[in-house]
Amino acid sequence: MEQEIQELPESQVLTPGSPVSNDGYQVRLEIFEGPLDLLLFLIRKKKIDIHDIPIAVITRDYLEYLERKEQINLDREAEFLLIAALLIYIKSQMLLPREQEALQADDPRQILVDRLLEFQKVKVACSLLREKEEDQLLRWKRTFLPPVARPEEAELLEVSLYDLAETFFLLMKKRERENLQVIRGKDVSVEEKMKEMVGYLKSRGSMDFLEYFSSQETLEEALVSFFCLLELVKNHLVVAVQEQLFQTIRVWLRRPRTQPHGHSHE
């Protein structure tokens, strides 16, 4: 539920009067992305005009939120303190007797107002982008090459041995967790396994290696299949493609090149 907590401030800013803002004491400092977020929240809650902030009131409310925390984590909350200091500074400036009507440009609050106005725009842009994100996340795109493509011509990202090894170790960890550490007898020879894999590839066209790996009966067999894959890649008999890190590895047989590859036009 962490995500929901993260999204709270955004919805508060956009929909004033949300259940959380009615009961201020339920709102914890942690849910605010930063001090400006908190300030905007307070301004909304009190229905204050951003161009004419009653600085004493807001400063008091703001400090109340900080005080509600038993401990201030300096790494995380230093920025909140910084704005608190700014608020107190502005308050003290406002208290100074002014000789004549202060020009608006001299309003000590201006620096804060400018920042809040800018930040407010960012928040709206965020909510608009969020809508677009949500729409896009519901749309699915193909992330694999359809069968018509000849993999050896389309080599997207050829996997490095490092990727292979990393994938392998992740698998091993997973297997360990599954308590499959029992290595049973049944000797599996590399040659046989390699023949089996090539046969599989010939009949099916391609292979999802993670699936193949996990379908092996024993850990030993799975291990052997991994070393076979390395061997086959090294000898350029197969091509292994991983579209994204930590995604599965797809394996195809490499077709012998009948002619040196001619570029259509370069």
Partner 1 sequence: MNEQLKAILEALIFISQEPLTLNKIKEVLEEVPEDELQAALEALLADYAADSRGIQVIQSAGGYLFTTKPEHDQWIRRLLQIEKKTKLSSAALETLSIIAYHQPITQAEISAIRGVDSTYCLKTLLQKKLIKIVGRKKAPGNPLVYRTSERFLQYFGLNSLEDLPREEEIAKILEEEKQAIS
- Residues, the chain: 266
Is the CB of 95 or the CB of 124 nearer to partner 1?
124
Closest approach, Cβ 179 to partner 1, in A, equals 23
Provide the edge-to-edge strand list for the sheet that holds 238-241.
Answer: 206-208, 250-253, 238-241
Among 18, 22, 26, 34, binds partner 1 (CB under 8 A): 34
3-state secondary structure of 241: strand
Beta carbons within 8 Å of 226's beta carbon, 6+ residues apart: 168, 171, 213
By CB under 8 A, residue 231 contacts partner 1: no
Is the CB of 135 or the CB of 191 nearer to partner 1?
135
Give the per-residue contact string, 65-84, with partner 1 (x = CB under 8 A; - = no): --------x-xx--x---x-
Could you give the C-alpha distances from 120 to 14, 38, 41, 114, in angstroms and in order? 10, 12, 11, 10
Closest approach, Cβ 159 to partner 1, in A, equals 8
Is the CB of 168 or the CB of 188 nearer to partner 1?
168
Distance CA 233, CA 254 (A): 9
Instruction: State the angle between helix axes of 190-204 and 219-234 in degrees (0 to 180), rounded to the nearest 10.
Output: 70
By CB under 8 A, residue 35 contacts partner 1: yes
At residue 253, φ and ψ (nearest 5 deg) are -70, 140
Residue numbers 122-161 binding partner 1 by CB under 8 A: 122-126, 128-130, 132-150, 153-161
Query: Whose structure tokens read 């990393």?
Result: 166
Is the CB of 6 or the CB of 110 nearer to partner 1?
6
Is the CB of 76 or the CB of 173 nearer to partner 1?
76
By CB under 8 A, residue 174 contacts partner 1: no
Report DSSP state, residue 100: S
By CB under 8 A, residue 178 contacts partner 1: no
Distance CA 34, CA 134 (A): 24
* Binding residues for partner 1 (CB under 8 A): 2-3, 6-7, 9-10, 14, 16, 33-37, 44, 47, 73, 75-76, 79, 83, 115, 118-126, 128-130, 132-150, 153-163, 204, 263-264, 266
